[in-house]
Structure 1
Amino acid sequence: MVSKLFGTHNQLLTERGALLLRLTTGLFIGLLVGLLIDHDGKGGVLAALGQDWREILAQSLTLLAFVLWANAAVMRRISLAAWTGLVAVVLIFVSWHAQKLVGTANVSELAYVMILLALSFIANELVSSADQAGKIVAPYELYFDEAWKRGVQLALAIFFTLLFWAILVLGAALLGFIGFNWLKKLLDEPLVATPLLGLAFASAVHLGDIQPRLLTQVRALALGVLGWLLPVISLIGVIFAVSLLFSGLQPLWDTRAATATLLSACIAFVLLINAAFQQGEDERKVALVLKWSVRLGCLLLLLFAVLAAWSLSLRIFQYGLTIDRAYAAMVVVIALAYGVGYSIAVFKPGPWMAGLKPANIGLAMFKCVVFLAVLTPLAAPARLSVDHQVSRLLKGQVKPERFDWFVLSADTGQYGKSALAKLVASKDPTIVSWAQKASDGKLERRRYDLDPELEAEVTKPADLTRLAVVSPKGAKLPASFIATNFHALPDFTVPRCLMFEPMRDADRCHAALINLDASPDLEVAILSSDEGLSIFKQSPTGWIGLIQSQRLYDEAASQAFKNGEIRSAEPVLRDIILGDTRLRLTPVPPEGAGQPAVLFDATPLPPSKP
């Protein structure tokens, strides 16, 4: 019986064998993950392993299940066993590194999870396709078919599993309405929930294998839709590139989101170029507009990757390497590799864009190497960030009082703690003092954690002399107002132009001097670039905020402020004082019978001074 299901040599499993392996994997790995989950803080049956190792094993087993589900019907059984064992070792090591050396705070980061999933998917498809082809490097057509098929299969399986779980939750809710809570209690129990989810996902993956026409049709639809989006993004990319010739790069840098935006465009180009190219013209006739869009998209990809690399290098040179910038640098390196490889394919002689085939295979392998390096000590973002920031500190590029010591003590795991131990032994007494405080946990997180750039800006004095005073004509802001540290105002939203150096016209504000109370001193009204109105008043202790960023939704009113058409006026109705309560009266226009003519807000009076 066993030989009928699994065979006696290194060959593919039968259809029944693949189904049995998938269901068994879903059931047993689901049970193990359920046991590893820390339920009610007790740690379950495997509590002796410790919280860290339970999380490491639960994460590794979950991803290992994906490998078995995906390959059960396509890899030969000995190859599958060897590949599964290797993946298990790598996953446990990567998870251990993230948990023990980087710190638990970074294990749940979206970037870490996405990189780990991408590495698992790409490496699995490379190995799976090679095993099917019987050689180290499979034909491009096999890679293409298997990767897109597996992507669609996993997406449909996730959708089916979520739908399955939603139905169970709905059923538990319906039973709960009539007083039966047994199903809800079962679903809340990890030892029941995780095996059920594993069995559901395994069944969905197997259903995709035995319904190849469904996967083919969904894949064709997805590729068709994505492919015809390439001309749109290519046209936008050309307009953007031409516009840069007239505007220069400064407006792009001023957005403070140039790197993220450019890298997002690079990812979109890679996806859409491959959707339009597919397997070239081997199986279908490609429209002329798609051919030229692919060529243009490859060149734009290189341009955007170079701009992203330039933008990121400027930030790293100015403010150092942070964990986020290290992740961005990884994407930049991959984007540059794609840009160069795809641009070479544009000019390579022969069939239309035939160079994309070997380029995609080589780039897939390159990404696996980069991802693995980032997930291990070789190029861990936490280690790279610590090394670079400490180097800047020791070289005097950043002062000890401006250095973000909390990141070393709390956010970079063992790498940061090791760096602090070395800095405590430094010959610079100032560095030693700060490092000791950080090691002892006496320093708190800064307002803008992990970003020295923003931390430097919030304490940079704003050039308030550049504010346009629109009323009275020719007036200037009081010297005491200009000298105020608005960032220190407690619990008050201050316009950006009062806290930062106005670098763009969009960040600048308009100011007006106006008397709003019985005091002869003038108040300062500020209209920010987002049409928010703030008012500040001079007090014995300095300038304080009265009104914070009240949005003016009337465009005419905003324009009137900018034109200097601003004045104060007595209220239509004075307030009423009733003992310790003030009634602020507001007339409203009549809209019908029974509508009150006046609304009022009751507020307590401030305590009188003795």
Structure 2
Amino acid sequence: MQSDEHTRLSLVLGLAGWVAGLACYVLIEAWQNAWLPDHLLVFASTACLAGMAMFLALTGPAPAGRVMPLAVGAGLVLGGAELWGALRFQNAEAYMAMVYPLLFGALAWLIATGFAAAHLTGQGGWRDYPALFSQSWRVVVNFVVSLVFVGLFWGLLGLSHLLLDIVGLDLMRLLTYFEVLPWVLSGTVLGLAMARVHASAEYISPYLVLRLLRMLSPIVLAVIAVFLVMLPVRGWDGLMQGFSPAATLMAFAAAGVTLVTVAVERSEFDEVKTPWMRSVTQALALTIPGLSALALWAVMLRVWQYSWTPQRLLAVTMACVLLVYGLSYLASVMIQRAWMARIRQANIWMALLVLAVSLAWFTPLFQPERISAQGQLSIAQNGGAADQIDLRELTKSWGNPGAQALSDIQAARPDLAEAIDLARQGRSKPAVDPATRAQRFVEVLPIYPSGRLDPADLSEIRPYLITKWLAACERTIAAGPGCALFVTQDGATGPRRAILFTRSGTNIVEAIHLERRAGKLGTAGATFSLDGPMRLDDRTLDALHRGEAKLVSREIQALDVGGRSIFAHN
């Protein structure tokens, strides 16, 4: 780039950065001082930040005059989408506290910026995959480099302040005398850094990052292969341990999508050439559907147990998108001929799908708060206990749909009036003394085949576990409470060894091994099934309450109940 062109670009982006910094300061002041209704502030903040960021990202590779209409249009569309979503809430701050406004807003901006860059610089328009691939990665790298430079700039100012402070000069006080100054200074430095990065495109390239990422493919594939081999050997119960396994599976599926995309590159000329790396890429592509399906199943287990929440809807959405990615890659690899070219074309359509899904979350087509609120209302209408209903979330986090569902629950379930009032006050149930809770637990806990339990026996068990088990007892089934204790070895002062069954959710029963040590009962390890994965349901509790459980003599002592054989393992 010629010197005068670089100077002109520096002036344009420096001024744009100055305006962006000033806008950030004004918007923060507007939020703090309520200059506008907060819903309008959501629109203004999103439109301004998205538009300015796109202008900074694309001006340089393309003339400012061509970038400006696209940046303004993208800002208005994204701002309108965020406003549409915020209208579900009386308080826009509660809306912005949700995860998805920022996540899907950022995804929509990144994809839209990539397509805009391809439209401005590619020979084939917005569907020009080489331009879409290279420019999307360049946008990310350029922003990272520029933001690092801004951090270094402020680090230098901090050191300068320390040096000048020795001679009695307070540099930071001078720079912060006007509150707006740090903002406009940061914006200007960011704009100038972006100008230098654009001018040095031949030196600051994403291709080094892409080549380094390729080196991770064999490692990721090896880890996934070990996981998939060991999963049926070790059992599927780990997938039932909440959101964490699903998040890990989705992270590896997303890593697989990224590494496959990096391997197929932007064109046939740039794709991986070595046979073994092509095989690694194929194998990695084939694992993505399995990981995504397992992640989806793990999340759905929580949904079936506890119903929908916006977070679970978000997880299901991400898992479904990754599953579609994986299926498109699977089809491309199975066809074999020109499979890398097919993946490149699939990536274009998948980017459009992700953009559409991201925007749909802000529209009436998909309202996570309403879906979640209706799920909680259904639980209440079916007789669910107060601890099974997310009353606090309905009150504080799910906007207008949550408030409406809470009113419907109050009308349908007068017995929940006290719990609803406490939730509206931001309080949980009044504190209960641990001894009282333990007393209540032993009163409602059925013990089979016979025996007695004293609250003092439970003094070494953590109070939160007693609370959890007591709540399980209240999730009754037709045959009795949602809990039961089967004594496998009795003692003079009470059960010496026992298995505690608790109903943690609808048709989900957990089994915990208890053992007496030093006169007190405590948890003593896991329980295992001799005849398949350890998945117990309401039939197990039903069989216990009907007296159908019995100890059997094998090489190890086991409990036969509900057609299952269970043993305790220390």
TM-score normalised to structure 2 length:
0.73
Relative to 1, partners in 2 of residues 1:96 and 1:172: Cα closer, same or farther, differing over 3 Å? farther
Name the aligned partner's letter for residue 349 of structure 2.
G
Choose the corresponding residue for 2:372, options 385, 397, 406. Answer: 385
CA contact 1:37–1:54 (8 Å) conserved in 2: no
Q: Is the 8 A contact 1:98 1:375 kept in 2?
A: yes
Q: CA–CA distance in 2 between the matches of 1:73 and 1:512?
A: 73
The equivalent residue for 1:147 is 136
The alignment partner of 1:375 has SS state of coil
Pairing partner for 2:427 from 439, 444, 450 = 444
**CA positional deviation for 1:275:** 2.0
CA distance in structure 1 between the partners assigned to 2:442 and 2:170 by the alignment? 59
- C-alpha separation between the residues in 1 aligned to 2:313 and 2:93? 18
Q: Match for 1:413 among 381, 385, 399?
A: 399
Q: Does 1:279 align with 2:262?
A: no
- The RMSD of aligned alpha carbons is 4.1
| 1:206 equivalent in structure 2 | 195
Q: How far 1:192 moved relative to its partner?
A: 0.6
Q: What is the rounded CA distance, in whole Å, between the counterparts of 2:47 and 2:454 in structure 1?
A: 62
The residue type paired with residue 294 of structure 1 is T
CA distance in 2: counterparts of 1:214 and 1:388, whole angstroms: 54
Distance in 2 (CA, whole Å) between partners of 1:169 and 1:101 is: 43
Q: Does 1:25 align with 2:25?
A: no
Q: Deviations over 1:519-555 (max 9, x none)?
A: xxx5x3757769xxxxxxxxxxxxxxxxxxxxxxxxx
Shift of 1:340: 0.8
Query: Is the 1:420–1:435 Cα contact (8 Å) retained in structure 2?
Result: no
- SS of equivalent residue, structure 1 residue 215: coil
Partner amino acid, structure 1, of 2:398:
T
Matched-pair contact (CA < 8 Å) for 2:47–2:78 = yes
Aligned-residue offset at 1:191: 0.8
Larger Rg over CA atoms: 1
Q: Could you tell me how far apart the structure 1 residues matched to 2:164 and 2:364 are?
A: 51
Matched, 1:138 2:127: yes
1:204-603 alignment, distance < 5 Å: 204-216=193-205, 219-254=206-241, 257-279=244-266, 281-283=268-270, 286-394=273-381, 396=382, 398-399=384-385, 402-423=388-409, 426=411, 428-430=412-414, 433=417, 437=421, 441-442=424-425, 444-445=427-428, 479-481=454-456, 489=463, 511-514=515-518, 522=519, 524=520, 526=522
| One-letter amino acid matched to 1:398 | G
Correspondent of 1:85 among 72, 81, 87: 72
Change (3 A) 1:95 1:435: farther
Q: CA deviation at 1:139?
A: 2.2
Structure 1: runs of 5 or more not aligned: 6-12, 448-458, 467-475, 515-521, 531-562, 565-610
Asked if the contact 2:460–2:521 (Cα under 8 Å) also holds between the matched residues in 1, the reply is no
Aligned to 1:192: 181
1:374-401: CA deviation from partner (whole Å, max 9, x where unpaired): 234432432332233223433x163456
Superposition deviation, residue 136 in structure 1? 5.1
| Structure 1 residue identity aligned to 2:102 | V
Taking a change above 3 Å as real, the CA distance of residues 291 and 148 of structure 1, as seen in their structure-2 partners, is same
> SS where residue 172 of structure 1 aligns?
helix
Aligned counterparts of 2:523 and 2:386: Cα–Cα separation in 1: 37
TM norm structure 1: 0.68
Give 3-state SS (helix, strand or coil) of 2:169's partner: coil
Amino acid of the structure 2 residue aligned with 1:71? L
| 2:20 is the counterpart of 1:37 | no
Indicate how the Cα distance of structure 1 residues 127 and 510 shifts in structure 2: closer, same or farther if over 3 A, else same. same
Aligned match of 1:454:
none
Q: Do the aligned partners of 1:341 and 1:359 also contact (CA within 8 Å) in 2? A: yes
Alpha-carbon distance between aligned partners in 2 of 1:461 and 1:298, rounded to the nearest angstrom: 55
Deviation at residue 131 of structure 1 after TM alignment: 3.2
How far apart, in 1, do the equivalents of 2:292 and 2:429 lie? 32
Partner of 1:184, secondary structure, is: helix
Instruction: Please state how far the C-alpha of 1:97 moved relative to its aligned partner.
Output: 4.3
Amino acid at match of 1:410: K
Q: Runs ≥4 in structure 1, deviation > 6 angstroms?
A: 459-466, 492-503, 506-510, 527-530
Tell me the matched-pair count: 480
**C-alpha separation in 2, matches of 1:446 and 1:42:** 34
* Distance apart, 1:325 and its partner CA: 0.5
Deviation at residue 233 of structure 1 after TM alignment: 1.4
CA contact (8 A) 2:143 2:194 kept: yes
Equivalents in 2 of 1:525, 1:33: separation in Å? 59
